[in-house]
Chain A
Amino acid sequence: NAGVTQTPKFRVLKTGQSMTLLCAQDMNHEYMYWYRQDPGMGLRLIHYSVGEGTTAKGEVPDGYNVSRLKKQNFLLGLESAAPSQTSVYFCASSYQGHNQPQHFGDGTRLSIL
């Protein structure tokens, strides 16, 4: 039982390049989330999904897109990377309900030069 798996773990991009971060969960969770973590700013929600085929914007969605074609996978895309998107990205999933624990992956450290 792997829980939440994020790939890749590290990546360096040049400004303007695109990439996709993959999140996979094997707990049959309905809800999935993408966060970014920056020093002194906590975890900020980028996009989230409440079920297969659905996505919604979080606090800081600009410059990112997401897709949830399969229940177990949640993809985060950067169409044209900018240095301001240098961050650590975390994916999380949870059962339905607003008071359920969120289970996090170990993050993707992304640097944009």
Chain B
Amino acid sequence: QQQVKQSPQSLIVQKGGISIINCAYENTAFDYFPWYQQFPGKGPALLIAIRPDVSEKKEGRFTISFNKSAKQFSLHIMDSQPGDSATYFCAAGRPGNTGKLIFGQGTTLQVKP
């Protein structure tokens, strides 16, 4: 019940296209769903996050869609650029005094010029 399953493992998109990465979870106690972006040789960095009281959150070209009943959430990257080429991790957190996150397996995105 603690797992977060992420797909696809890798993704190739043409410049200007839409990149879509999906995640699913089991534990309904999760109430915080961040996405992290990681460039080669660097640590992950928070990209965007959502709480389950909203179905969508948009920041620039990045949008999280959240489906509470299906226990799924996804990251959409509009007008994908070569600079978006990175590894993306979804994660889930639940209330408590630890701040712990459960991460998905990661998706390596390549945007071709």
Q: What is the interface of chain A, defined by CB distance below 8 A to chain B?
A: 4, 31, 33, 35, 40-45, 48, 50, 56, 58, 90, 92, 94, 96-107
Given A90-B44, A104-B44, is A40 in contact with B49 using a C-beta cutoff of 8 Å?
A: no
Q: Are A97 and B105 in contact (CB under 8 A)?
A: no
Tally chain B residues at the interface, Cβ within 8 Å.
Answer: 27
Secondary structure at chain B's binding surface: helix, strand, loop or mixed? loop
* B99 in contact with A97 (CB, 8 Å): yes
CA distance A48 to B97 in the complex (A): 12
Q: How far is the CB of B44 from chain A (nearest CB, A)?
A: 5
Is B93 a contact partner of A48 (Cβ separation < 8 A)? no
Chain A residues closer than 8 Å to B106, beta-carbon distance: 40, 42-43
Tell me which of A35, A45, A96, A98 contacts B95 (CB under 8 A): A98
Residues on B with beta carbons closer than 8 Å to the beta carbon of A101: 34, 46, 49
Provide the residues of chain B in CB contact with A50, threshold 8 Å: 97-99
Question: In the complex, A102→B101 CA distance in Å?
Answer: 9
* Complexed CA–CA distance, A9 and B38 (Å): 17
